[in-house]
Amino acid sequence: MSEQLTIIMAQINPIVGDVEGNTALIIESAKQAKMEHQADIVVFPEMTLTGYPPEDLLFREALYQQVESALSIICEQVTDTVLVIGYPMMDELGDRFNMAAWIEEGQIQASYIKQNLPNYSVFDEKRYFSSGQQPCVVEYKGVKFGLLICEDIWKLSPADQSVKAGADILLNLNASPFSQEKHQDRIRVVKRRVEEVKRPVIYVNQVGGQDELMFDGGSFATCAEGEVQVQGSEFKTDLVPVKILKQADAVVVLPGEKADLLHDEARVYEALVMGVKDYVQKNGFKGVLLGLSGGIDSALTLAIAVDALGAEQVEAVMMPFKYTADISIEDAEKEAQALGVYYHSVPIEPIYDAYESALSRRFEGYEEDVTEENMQARIRGVLLMSISNKTGKLVLATSNKSEVAVGYSTLYGDMVGGFSPLKDVPKTLVYRLAEYRNTISSVIPERVITRAPSAELRPDQKDQDSLPDYDVLDNIIKAFVKEDKSPTQIVDEFGYDKQEVLRITKMVSRNEYKRRQAAPGVKISPRAFGRDRRYPITSRYAEEQ
């Protein structure tokens, strides 16, 4: 029987490309882990040194030189604790690998190459990396540790190999991006693997937002029967201790801290808050700015921004026009007051009139149409961008996924912005999130939630003049976009009118050009617009059975 060992799951938030900063973060975390937890081993996430995903930065040779010197610095500075860290490596032939190193007493004692390279959804690892073939098992104080990286645990072979090479316990380094059901998926997959190989697994995930991707942490450790013994919190950086003991021939994971897991709306809300916070802070903006319309999307976006950055970093602008209802102005004011943000109003009528008059000759003989509606949205876009340029604040776009899907938004108008928090949030979920946020403190007036949604770009306009009810719309979008179902399959599943389903699915296909020019947003679904769903703009594909 060997001594008890303390392994730290280092849920850190590295910044992509910041090898120097990430190195400092690793060293600091290692020292803290030693001091606070008497750590024996600290396990970091996948690609710790570069952050994940570095994308085409991986083609730059200089990156590998930076990684090399970072490894030397770490070896030099942390000699009293074992570190397991992730990084990319390039060999003499120019082949690249996704690696994990076991650093002990100032030396890389062993290293592992990732075997399963994901190349689906948001992942392009086969663009960059060659696969490893071998397990990596390291013995330390009588325990044999098998190293695995992320996708490796989703298939049997790497874990099985590792166990056949003698591993008592598996250390899995992850950069696993968030989506709504992802945590449950991870637990399910790891349990299955544990049942197959009968070894405990320590699953370490990164935290933080990187453009569209949110890493939600939630690191965990299971015993050899698959039960979760230690659970790290979600969306928070943390050093989570796992105590293990070798008894007879097996390694036992002792029960430890178990963070409460978030549920449903709370989990999505935290992802959105982290997305805004990290995009703004990692990119060095002096706060954010958004157009407040009195509608629910901008109200929710405002609450998220304030929760992410604090009220003093958030500016809200009402830009009323003749179609703006009085209650919209009242409600916008109330929201701004409730959240304590800087709020002001810039009426757009004189600008609109100037455009109308400038274009009057060119538009002679044409009827009023959607052009004039888009013009209002675009004037607001220019105003927001001007304030952004003047103040250094980032504009947040307020479109939701339902609008983004069918193109119910104005390119260069309400789509203006550097980041789009609700881009992957369907309208029906926007309502649920607003209600959830009000349970913490009442910041979104009830009327904003209950009144019929309207873009207020023409008299008495309602969203449902041109779109089906949002619950219907969101079902169609989910089936068509996430599940790749055909219109016929959607009609069969829900019993909706076929012409309506065809109309909506065609709108989705036709509006790819708008989405291609949209700001990045927070991916919360298993299939978000952006790098996750790569559709051609030019396409005559149609499923009209």
Pairing of strands 220-222, 228-231: antiparallel
Helices within 262-369 (DSSP H only): 264-282, 296-309, 326-339, 349-359
Name the strand (E) or helix (H) holding 216. strand 213-216
Token pair belonging to 87: 């990084």
How far is 165 from 134, CA to CA, in rounded Å?
10
Which residues are bridge partners to 391 per DSSP?
none
Sign of CA dihedral 534, 537, 539, 544: positive
CB of 85 to its own copies, least distance (A): 18
Residue of 7, 42, 53, 331 interacting with its own copies (CB under 8 A): 53
Residues annotated as catalytic are 46, 114, 150
CB of 420 to its own copies, least distance (A): 11
Q: Which of residues 349-368 bind its own copies (CB under 8 A)?
A: 350-351, 353-355, 357-359, 361-363, 366
State the binding site for L-glutamine: 120, 176, 182
Pick the piece of the chain touching its own copies (CB under 8 A) from 30-38, 229-237, 373-381, 500-508.
373-381
Cβ nearer to its own copies, comparing 140 with 363: 363
CB of 25 to its own copies, least distance (A): 12
CB of 22 to its own copies, least distance (A): 9
Using DSSP, state whether 42 is helix, strand or coil: strand
Helices within 165-295 (DSSP H only): 182-197, 264-282
Using DSSP, state whether 486 is helix, strand or coil: coil
The verdict on 375 binding its own copies (CB under 8 A) reads yes
CB of 502 to its own copies, least distance (A): 13
CB of 508 to its own copies, least distance (A): 12
Cβ nearer to its own copies, comparing 450 with 538: 538
How many binding residues for its own copies (CB under 8 A)?
84
Residue of 7, 9, 12, 19 interacting with its own copies (CB under 8 A): 19
100-to-110, 206, 269 alpha-carbon distances in Å: 9, 14, 32
Name the strand (E) or helix (H) holding 540. none
Residue of 3, 21, 105, 195 interacting with its own copies (CB under 8 A): 21
Q: Which of residues 460-489 bind its own copies (CB under 8 A)?
A: 484, 486
Cβ nearer to its own copies, comparing 418 with 421: 418
Q: Which of residues 68-127 bind its own copies (CB under 8 A)?
A: 119-120, 124, 126-127
CB of 423 to its own copies, least distance (A): 13
Cβ nearer to its own copies, comparing 141 with 286: 286
State the binding site for ATP: 291-298, 398
Q: Which of residues 198-237 bind its own copies (CB under 8 A)?
A: 209-211
Please give, one letter per residue, the 3-state secondary structure of 70-93.
HHHHHHHHCCCCEEEEEEEEECCC
Contact present, 171 and 244 (Cβ < 8 Å): no
226: left (phi over 0), alpha (psi -120 to 50) or beta: left
Of the candidates 118, 198, 103, 111, the one whose C-alpha atom is nearest the C-alpha of residue 150 is: 118
Q: Which of residues 251-310 bind its own copies (CB under 8 A)?
A: 278-279, 282-283
Residue of 189, 382, 503, 506 interacting with its own copies (CB under 8 A): 382
Peptide bond into 526 cis (omega under 30): no
CB of 383 to its own copies, least distance (A): 7
Pick the piece of the chain touching its own copies (CB under 8 A) from 108-116, 170-178, 216-224, 376-384.
376-384
Cβ nearer to its own copies, comparing 127 with 198: 127
State the binding site: 120, 176, 182, 291-298, 374, 398, 403, 514
Identify residue 82 by its one-letter amino acid code.
V
Cβ nearer to its own copies, comparing 287 with 381: 381
Q: Which of residues 478-537 bind its own copies (CB under 8 A)?
A: 484, 486, 513, 516-520, 531, 533-537
**Under 8 Å CB-to-CB from 202, ≥6 apart: which residues?**
7, 9, 43, 169, 170, 171, 172, 219, 221, 242, 253
Return the ∠ at Cα 540 (arms to 539 and 542), rounded to 5°. 115
Task: Using the structure block, give the residue that is written with the tokens 């600091």.
Answer: 28
Q: Which of residues 407-426 bind its own copies (CB under 8 A)?
A: 411-412, 416, 418
Cβ nearer to its own copies, comparing 11 with 13: 13
Cβ nearer to its own copies, comparing 133 with 517: 517
On the CB side of 217, CA atoms within 13 Å amount to 26
Q: Which of residues 321-350 bind its own copies (CB under 8 A)?
A: 344, 346-348, 350
How far is 276 from 395, CA to CA, in rounded Å?
11
Contact present, 422 and 399 (Cβ < 8 Å): yes
Pairing of strands 288-291, 314-318: parallel
Q: Which of residues 146-175 bind its own copies (CB under 8 A)?
A: none
